[in-house]
Amino acid sequence: MNKCAIPDHSRLVVAVSGGPDSICLFDLIYRLPYQTTVVHFNHQLRPESDEEMRFVKSIAEGKKIPFFSRSINIHEFASSEGLGIEEAARRARYEFIFHVAAETKSQAVVTAHHADDQVETVLMNFIRGAGLKGLSGMTFCQRTNFSEKILLARPMLDFRKAELLAYCQDNGLQYYVDESNYEPVYFRNRIRNELIPLLREYNPNFIETVLRNQKALADDLRYILEITNSTLNDLLVNEKEGVLTFSIEKFSPLPDALKNYVLKELIQRINPDWTDISFEMIKTARTVLEKSNWTQQRILGKGIYMLIEGGEAALTSNPGLVWQKNWPSIQTEKTILISENEIDVDEKWSLEMTFTSVEKIGEIYLNNPNPLAAYLDIVNHKNEIRIRRWQPGDTYYPLGMGGKSVKLSDFWINHKIPKRAKELWPVIESQGEIIWIPGFQPSHHFRIKEDTDRVLVLQLRKRP
């Protein structure tokens, strides 16, 4: 337990199945100065499952140690969750164990994974196409998706299965043998009982070789992750309210291998529950970043979006967090006859048009409290307006600038409107001149004057 730096007298939850591995683990933990709780999970996969649960309970009660158990029909659970049997069993088991750990205020959950399990895990990950992280295997201690605070500890990863069996025999410990470990229907069983014996025919020291390489790869991974974390600081990574942004200029010159790890870490930060970030997801992200001169939004997979604009990339699981709800937008440009009417601008916004007089509105136009409403004098213009998106070269005469013009490209910058917003922001014109940009002051040329009689009121409304 020293490798996890768990202090003496800490509370621990020990997962005990009743097999030789967990019985050995429990006996060793019981001899150490910890406050122990035993947890058993009954998958109901074999006729003797209930008997094994009673066996583990009797051991815990015999040593006056708290005991918790749960029985679930894993076949039914797997079917309801759309999972394979192995994944369903793992998830249900760990959810329960960590629930007990939280209830008992324990510092760690301890499992009996050993060196032979490590070899099987590395081979399974290799066959599935895992990268360096998968080939590095299991760690002695780690944080999991099941709890932010409670550690998962595997203190026996350096010990071979044969050593655990010898310990049980030397200390007279009884245990159950899980016959399902020999059934070829399970992937891990086929690795253990078919593939590894075959590979040992080519290399009698195959297991020792895998363990040696696994430890070397784990060291390599630790070093790479240190470099990755240092690089993240250099990328000006900013994380706020579910959106993570970073500098494309600083990302582009990174070595390819480091780019992959940086992107994996960034995506993991957006959704810590993911343990399987695919090569295709990273490839898609890099393709988007290589075209960073475009404003674009792309779904990378599993509900993660990447948005590119202005030299920055944003990652989020909710693009609505990036696209602020109060930003108006237009999907289709259109020309509209001016009348007492309300027309659809896009699926979220509508434009209401009404006529009134200066007498009726009083002085509200002088200090308009609603930036999505405009009071305009268009008496000398055609009886139509056009709603469109902005175009390079557009010029605007904002009210309050004494009739001076400003390039619309500069206007956006002055008001800190990001590129992703201005691309869809509606601009309203009459006879080729911008009369109003919703959210801002109307044009100086269409202001209410002393001789204004008829006032056109435009109001952009967001649907509930």
449, exposed or middle or buried, with CB in 10 Å at 0-12, 13-18, 19+?
exposed
Name the burial class of residue 414, with classes exposed (0-12), middle (13-18) and buried (19+) by CB atoms within 10 angstroms of its CB: exposed
Per-residue DSSP letters for 83-117?
--HHHHHHHHHHHHHHHHHHHTT-SEEE----HHH
Q: How far is CA 434 from CA 35, 113, 220, 419, 460, in A?
A: 74, 70, 60, 20, 16
Mind listing the pLDDT tens digit for each residue in 253-294?
Answer: 999 889 999 998 888 888 776 666 778 888 888 888 887 665
Going from the N-terminus, what domains does the chain have, and what CATH number goes with each? 2-214 (3.40.50.620), 235-322 (3.30.465.60), 334-462 (no CATH)
Cα 308 to Cα 248: distance, rounded to the nearest angstrom: 9
What does residue 133 show for φ and ψ, rounded to 5 degrees?
-65, -45
Residue with tokens 């939850």: 13
- What is the phi/psi pair of residue 340, to 5°? -70, 100
Which pLDDT value is given to residue 332? 82
Question: By three-state DSSP, how is residue 240 classified?
Answer: strand
Tell me which residues of the chain have a pLDDT lower than 50.
none
Indicate yes or no: pTM above 0.85.
Answer: no
pLDDT at position 136 is 94
Q: What is the DSSP letter of 193?
A: I
Separation CA 227–CA 258 (nearest Å)? 8
**What is the predicted pLDDT for the residue at 367?**
78
pLDDT, tens only, 403-412 = 899 999 898 8
- The pLDDT score that the predictor gives to residue 292 is 62
Instruction: Give the whole-angstrom CA distance, residue 359 versus residue 453.
Output: 9
pLDDT at 273: 66
Tokens of 24: 């050995």
